[in-house]
């Protein structure tokens, strides 16, 4: 019996130590938790040349105007005299009560400018409507200005431009294509002249390998030409996030607060149970010991006094 109580006491002590460490760690993390609010800072500016500046996402109150400037001339010459190829992507977020109508107007303008739609998707829910639209227009200063003027009609929440110089990648692909095409022409000449079966099989395998590589390279070349000859726009048109009942009642915010309070109460009860558990065990052990030894009656007390 005593061994059993010793084991139980040891387990309770261990549970108390682990629980105390848990409670201390929990409150320490809760005390150190801090939430930093980041605001999307949007600023659109045009230089005298008509260049669009890409806004940056920074902390509230810190806007940097040293953003990337859109380069309009796709045929800019590099230091070596090679035409420069710039890949340009615009990321635009528009808020409007009729996203479908806005997307239709944008697609109409894209068609007029000789561009095309890559993908589009409509997402409807009880809270809001979101229209995702991705399209390309020919990479000219005039087209870029017209698309910029189109966006000015709407409530643009954010606009970001990302540019990437892919000149070296494109030139490497072109150089490899030229090298493989020259090798393929020589191998075809040898193939027409050879009569040896082993040589013919070897030449066929090599020509087949070259054709596979050329197919991949031509796809890459076509991709780089598309993303540099055209400007790619990634547009998201969304309605307001909160529905009417949330604006009037603040229902969701109330639920969130209630859940946070409930979690705090549960953590408090767990901490209280862990802290009180050793005292409960000591009380139970004391009661067991007290019940084990019977009380002396009044007569026994008098007899012990007389003796």
pLDDT in tens, 160-195: 999 999 999 999 999 999 999 999 999 999 888 888
Contact between 52 and 46 under an 8 Å Cβ cutoff? The reply is: yes
- pTM strictly above 0.75: no
- Every domain of the chain and the residues it spans: 72-170+220-241
Q: What confidence tier does 279 reach under pLDDT thresholds 50, 70, 90?
A: confident
Using CA of residue 18, residue 19, residue 20, residue 24, what is the dihedral sign? positive
Higher pLDDT, 252 or 210: 210
Q: What is the pLDDT of the chain when averaged over all its residues?
A: 75
What does the pLDDT read at residue 38?
A: 33
Helix (H, G, I), strand (E, B) or coil at 161: strand
Residue with tokens 């479908």: 100
Q: Helix, strand, or coil here: 303? A: helix
Is residue 266 over pLDDT 60?
yes
Tell me the average pLDDT across 58-77. 38
Collapsing DSSP states into helix, strand and coil, what is residue 28? Answer: helix
Inter-residue contact 150 to 144 (CB < 8 Å): no
Rounded Cα distance between 288 and 296, Å, is: 17
DSSP E strands: which ranges in 96-229? 116-124, 129-138, 155-165
Q: Which of 81-90, 174-183, 197-206 has the weakest average pLDDT?
A: 81-90
- Lowest-confidence region among 153-157, 248-252, 267-271: 248-252
Residue 95 has pLDDT above 80, yes or no: yes
Of 34, 144, 151, the C-alpha closest to 93 is 151
Phi, psi of 86 (to 5 degrees): -110, 130
Contacts of 160 (CB under 8 A, 6+ apart): 54, 55, 56, 57, 90, 91, 92
pLDDT for 25 equals 63
Choice among 74-83, 178-187, 255-264 with the minimum mean pLDDT: 74-83
The predicted structure's pLDDT at residue 68: 35
pLDDT at 284: 78
pLDDT band with cut points at 50, 70 and 90 for residue 22: low
Sequential DSSP letters for 252-292:
HHHHHHHHHHHHHHHHHHHHHHHHHHHHHHHHHHHHHHHHH
3 state SS of 136? strand
Task: Give me the residue label for tokens 């009642």.
Answer: 249
Mean pLDDT (whole number) for 218-241? 91
Could you tell me which residues come within 8 angstroms of residue 61 by beta carbon, excluding any fewer than 6 positions away?
Answer: none
pLDDT confidence bin for 210, thresholds 50/70/90: very high
Environment class of 11 (CB within 10 Å of its CB; exposed 0-12, middle 13-18, buried 19+): exposed
Residues 57, 158: Cα–Cα separation, whole Å: 9
């Amino acid at each position: 019996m005593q061994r059993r109580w010793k084991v139980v006491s040891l387990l309770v002590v261990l549970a108390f130590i682990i629980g105390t460490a848990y409670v201390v760690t929990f409150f320490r993390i809760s005390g150190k938790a801090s939430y930093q609010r980041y605001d999307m800072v949007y600023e659109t500016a045009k230089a005298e040349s008509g260049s669009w500046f890409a806004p940056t996402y920074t902390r509230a109150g810190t806007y940097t105007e040293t953003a990337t400037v859109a380069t309009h001339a796709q045929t800019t010459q590099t230091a070596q005299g090679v035409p420069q190829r710039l890949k340009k992507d615009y990321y635009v977020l528009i808020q409007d009560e009729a996203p479908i109508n806005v997307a239709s107007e944008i697609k109409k303008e894209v068609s007029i400018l000789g561009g095309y739609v890559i993908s589009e998707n409509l997402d409807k829910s009880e809270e809001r409507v979101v229209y995702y639209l991705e399209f390309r227009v020919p990479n000219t200063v005039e087209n870029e200005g017209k698309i910029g003027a189109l966006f000015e009609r709407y409530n643009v929440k954010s606009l970001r431009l990302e540019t990437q110089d892919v000149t070296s990648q494109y030139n490497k692909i072109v150089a490899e294509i030229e090298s493989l095409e020259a090798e393929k022409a020589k191998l075809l000449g040898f193939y027409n002249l050879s009569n040896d079966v082993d040589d013919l099989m070897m030449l066929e395998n090599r020509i087949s390998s070259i054709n596979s590589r050329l197919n991949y390279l031509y796809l890459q070349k076509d991709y780089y030409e598309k993303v540099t000859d055209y400007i790619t726009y990634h547009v998201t048109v969304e309605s307001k996030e909160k529905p009417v009942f949330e604006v009037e009642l603040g229902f969701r915010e109330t639920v969130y607060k209630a859940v946070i309070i409930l979690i705090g109460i549960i953590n408090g009860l767990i901490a209280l149970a862990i802290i009180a558990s050793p005292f409960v065990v000591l009380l139970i052990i004391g009661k067991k010991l007290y019940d084990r030894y019977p009380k002396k009656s009044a007569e026994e007390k008098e007899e012990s006094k007389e003796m």
